[in-house]
Amino acid sequence: MLRIDSHQHFWNFDPIRDSWITEDMGVIRRDFLPGDLLPHLESHGLDGCVAVQSDQSEAHNDYLLQLAAANPFIRGIVGWVDLQSDTVEESLEFYCRHKVMKGFRHVLQGETDRALMLKPEFKRGIKALGEYGYSYDILIFSDQLQYAARLAELFPDQKFVLDHIAKPLIREGVVAGWAEDIRELARHDHVYCKVSGMVTEADWSNWKEDDFKPYLDVVFEAFGPGRVMFGSDWPVCLVAGGYDRMLGIVKNYTAQMRKEEQDLFWGGNAARFYSLQQ
C-alpha cells in the first residue's frame, strides 16, 4: 500500500506574491523544491506526496505540473481555479489533460465573507468540480466549519477533504466549540480530514505532543480510521519545528492502532481519495 504525504507545497519565493509568509516566518522565506522534500519522504518510508497550491493562480498550477512531470514521486496536485468564474468549466476541461491534477482548493480562510463557499457562484463552481470528477480541499479556520458542513450537505456526491483539521486554537487550548463543529462536518461520510498543519496553530517554540492529543482524539473519533490522512504541511511546518518532529506527533499517536488502520492513515485513505496510482 502506498505511503503518502497528502499535503505539502513547493514555491520559488517571491516576497510580494507570497506576502502571507511574514517576517516572523523567516525560516520559510526562500525557495522550496522537490529536491528539498525528497530526503524527508525517503527517511520516513513515504512513497510520494500530493503537492497543494500556495498561490491562487493558474500560473502556479503550471509550475506544479512542470515539477510533477520531472519528479514522479509527486503523485498528485491540488491546484486552483476561479470557482466563481463563468468559464470555470473551460479551465477544468483543460486540466483533464493532466491526470496528475486531482483536485482544487480556494483559500477560504482568508476571505472577508466567511460564508463565501455558500454563495451561488461558488456553489456553481463546486458543482462543476463534481461533473469533472475533481475533489475539493476545504481550507478554513474553525469559525467557518458550520458553513463547510452546510456545503457538504448540499453536495452529497462531491469528494471533500478538510485541510489542517480546520486550524483550531491549539495555542489557547480551545477544544469545545471546534469539536462540536468537527463532529457535525464528519457526519457527512463523503468528507475526509487531513491531520496536518497542527504545529503552526500551537505555540511555535514551546509546544509539546500532549497539546495535540485532545484534537487528535476528536478527529479520529469523528471521522474514523477510513477518512483521515497524514499531511506534513511542509515547508510551512518548519516555522514550528522540523519535519521529523511534526511527523513524530502523529506517529506516536497512531502507534497503538491496528496495522490496517495505520496503513489507511499513512497512505491508503489518501490514495483512495485522490485516486493515486501505485
Q: Which H helix or E strand runs over 37?
A: helix 34-43
pLDDT of residue 277: 83
Show Cβ contacts of residue 147 under 8 Å, excluding neighbours closer than 6 positions.
114, 115, 117, 118, 140
pLDDT of residue 200: 97
DSSP string covering 3-35? -EEEEE--B---TTTTTTS-GGGGGGSS-B-HH
> Which residues face 17 on adjacent strands?
none
pLDDT of residue 104: 98
51 half-sphere exposure, CB direction, 13 A CA radius: 29
- Residue 70 Cα distances to 4, 35, 73, 90, 98, angstroms: 18, 11, 9, 26, 14
Taking the chain (278 residues) in consecutive chunks of 10 residues, what is each chunk's mean pLDDT? 97 94 94 98 98 98 98 98 98 98 98 98 98 98 98 98 98 97 98 97 97 98 98 98 95 98 98 93
Query: What is the total residue count of the chain?
Result: 278
Domain range for 222 is 4-274
- Cell digits for 192? 475526509
Per-residue model confidence as pLDDT tens digits over 37-75: 999 999 999 999 999 999 999 999 999 999 999 999 999
Say which CATH number the domain at 71 has: 3.20.20.140
Report the distance separating Cα 50 and Cα 85, nearest Å. 25
Count how many domains the chain has. 1
